[in-house]
């Protein structure tokens, strides 16, 4: 099917050549075409330009975007979308003064999510995750990473990964998968955590590989969870199965996780609420994308990633939702955009670059997604009539999206 979008007030992120990453000072530039059209054939962007050159009488569907902004769909490079239940108790506990670590010690946190997930069938998990994902398609997210990590047993980790594979096959979203068996040490392995690491390396990883269930390896590299030495072991083992790292580092403590990730050629390092000059230096010599997760800072009340320091050092930055029941129970990238501007002091242009082209880079997909470029996939957001694209981050909490086109299908 061919779709022609006409009279577009602002067509954002237009590139004649196929950019795949935007760094440093260049993040302030967001190429905009005013009064434009965009032509889509099936799932692909085939042409765009000023309205005066728009002449396609035979298209099957025309969408008039008068007063509206059109841009590439959000590329959310970090979520934990498959989970059993929300964590309201943790939420209320935190309001009453408990820290993230104290909640974990009381049996809340990730282990609580793992216990609940073990009791759910694959179908139940699939149905719940599908509902969440369908909501996100309408909010502009068409490319998404989903992690395992609430299983923490061989059976449950594989169960989550199979659910993600079903989402990948049966929805319009383009899904990338990360195996996060190293999310927490299960109760059973308390005081013998190295045995759990053995289980990850000797039993989980070979099965993940055999069934081709994941693209990436993730580890929660953090004090009290997985040390540098253990993370190194897991990433080394995963490399033998061609799983590139995308890892959780520097959420609560900066102790060398970034350098370790770069040593293992990580595609991205995610969180970075704690960040040292040494971390920035290491990233400058790498192809690793730093990813900030501002909703997690908002929800937990922890510091925000120093995004200015990252961008001002000439580095690229991506932003993602971290959608999960414990620390970011929302996958709404529009709110992520607002928080990036309001709390991390990104300009609207930087935030949109971070949520589109750089998000796609953090999933190894930026040659296919993340910009309005001929030949790229047609994942598109069409806003309601707005004064300009700056209103997207400005009017936080409001849904300014009229419709989305994901994989060539209108939502």
For residues 331 and 408, which CB has a smaller minimum distance to Zn ion in the complex? 331
Identify which range of 23-31, 65-73, 171-179, 321-329 contacts Zn ion by CB under 5 A: 321-329
Residue 106 CA, chain-centre distance (Å), reads: 29
Residue 176's Cβ-side half-sphere holds a number of Cα atoms within 13 Å equal to 27
Q: Angle at Cα 121 formed by Cα 172 and Cα 176, nearest 5°? A: 30
Nearest CA among 192, 296, 197, 280 for reference residue 238 = 197
For residues 90 and 322, which CB has a smaller minimum distance to Zn ion in the complex? 322
For residues 279 and 322, which CB has a smaller minimum distance to Zn ion in the complex? 322
Shortest distance, position 160 Cβ to Zn ion, whole Å = 14
What is the spatial distance between Cα 271 and Cα 151, in angstroms, rounded to a whole number?
Answer: 21
Report which DSSP code applies to 185: -
For residues 163 and 372, which CB has a smaller minimum distance to Zn ion in the complex? 163
Does residue 321 contact residue 331 with C-beta atoms inside 8 Å?
A: yes
The site for Zn ion, by CB under 5 A, has a size of 1
Shortest distance, position 270 Cβ to Zn ion, whole Å = 7
Identify which range of 107-115, 121-129, 314-322, 359-367 contacts Zn ion by CB under 5 A: 314-322
145 binds Zn ion (CB under 5 A): no
Pair of tokens at residue 292: 């900030």
Nearest position to Zn ion, beta carbon: 322
For residues 76 and 322, which CB has a smaller minimum distance to Zn ion in the complex? 322
Shortest distance, position 169 Cβ to Zn ion, whole Å = 24
Shortest distance, position 244 Cβ to Zn ion, whole Å = 17
What is the distance in angstroms between the CA of the first residue and the CA of the last residue of the chain? 15
Shortest distance, position 80 Cβ to Zn ion, whole Å = 6
Beta-strand runs (E) in 226-280: 244-249, 268-271
| Residue-wise burial string across 177-213, b where 16 or more C-beta atoms lie within 10 A, e elsewhere | bbbbbbbbbbeebeeebeebbebbbeebbeebbeeeb
Who's near 115: CB < 8 A, 6+ residues apart? none
For residues 147 and 166, which CB has a smaller minimum distance to Zn ion in the complex? 147
**Helix, strand, or coil (residue 148):** coil
Identify which range of 84-92, 112-120, 121-129, 320-328 contacts Zn ion by CB under 5 A: 320-328
Shortest distance, position 323 Cβ to Zn ion, whole Å = 9
Shortest distance, position 251 Cβ to Zn ion, whole Å = 8
Residue 370 Rama label (left phi>0; alpha psi -120 to 50; beta): left
Who's near 89: CB < 8 A, 6+ residues apart? 108, 112
For residues 215 and 377, which CB has a smaller minimum distance to Zn ion in the complex? 215
Interface pick for Zn ion out of 218, 222, 322, 349 (rule CB under 5 A): 322
Shortest distance, position 353 Cβ to Zn ion, whole Å = 22
Pair of tokens at residue 304: 């925000």
The residue ranges that bind Zn ion (CB under 5 A) are: 322
């Amino acid at each position: 099917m061919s779709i022609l979008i006409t009279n577009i007030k602002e067509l954002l992120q237009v590139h004649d050549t196929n950019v795949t990453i935007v760094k440093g000072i260049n993040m302030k530039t967001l190429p905009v075409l005013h009064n434009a059209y965009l032509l889509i054939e099936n799932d692909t962007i085939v042409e765009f330009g000023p309205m005066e050159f728009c002449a396609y009488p035979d298209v099957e569907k025309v969408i008039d975007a008068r007063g509206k902004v059109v841009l590439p769909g959000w590329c959310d490079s970090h979520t934990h979308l498959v989970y059993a239940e929300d964590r309201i108790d943790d939420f209320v506990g935190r309001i009453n003064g408990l820290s993230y670590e104290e909640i974990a010690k009381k049996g809340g946190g990730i282990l609580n999510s793992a216990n609940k997930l073990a009791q759910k069938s694959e179908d139940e998990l699939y149905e719940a995750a599908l509902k969440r994902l369908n909501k996100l398609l309408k909010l502009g997210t068409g490319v998404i990473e989903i992690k395992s990590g609430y299983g923490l047993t061989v059976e449950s980790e594989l169960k989550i990964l199979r659910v993600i594979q079903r989402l990948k096959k049966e929805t319009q979203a383009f899904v990338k998968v990360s195996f996060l068996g190293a999310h927490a040490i299960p109760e059973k392995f308390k005081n013998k955590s190295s045995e759990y690491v053995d289980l990850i390396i000797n039993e989980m990883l070979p099965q993940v590989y055999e069934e081709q269930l994941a693209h990436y390896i993730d580890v929660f590299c953090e004090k009290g969870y997985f040390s540098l030495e253990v993370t190194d072991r897991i990433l080394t083992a995963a490399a033998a199965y061609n799983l590139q790292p995308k890892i959780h580092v520097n959420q609560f403590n900066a102790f060398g996780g970034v350098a370790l990730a770069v040593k293992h050629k990580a595609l991205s390092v995610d969180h970075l609420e704690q960040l040292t000059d040494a971390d920035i230096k290491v990233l400058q010599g790498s192809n690793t994308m730093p990813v900030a997760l501002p909703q997690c800072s908002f929800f937990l009340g922890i510091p925000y990633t120093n995004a200015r320091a990252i961008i001002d050092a000439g580095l690229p930055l991506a932003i993602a939702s971290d959608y999960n029941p414990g620390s970011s129970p929302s996958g709404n990238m529009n709110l992520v955009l607002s928080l990036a501007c309001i709390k991390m002091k990104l300009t609207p242009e930087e935030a949109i670059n971070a949520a589109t082209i750089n998000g796609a880079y953090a999933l190894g997909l930026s040659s296919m997604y993340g910009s309005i470029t001929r030949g790229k996939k047609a994942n598109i957001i069409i806003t309601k009539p707005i004064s300009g694209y700056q209103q997207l981050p400005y009017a936080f909490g409001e849904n300014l999206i009229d419709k989305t086109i994901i994989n060539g299908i209108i939502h």
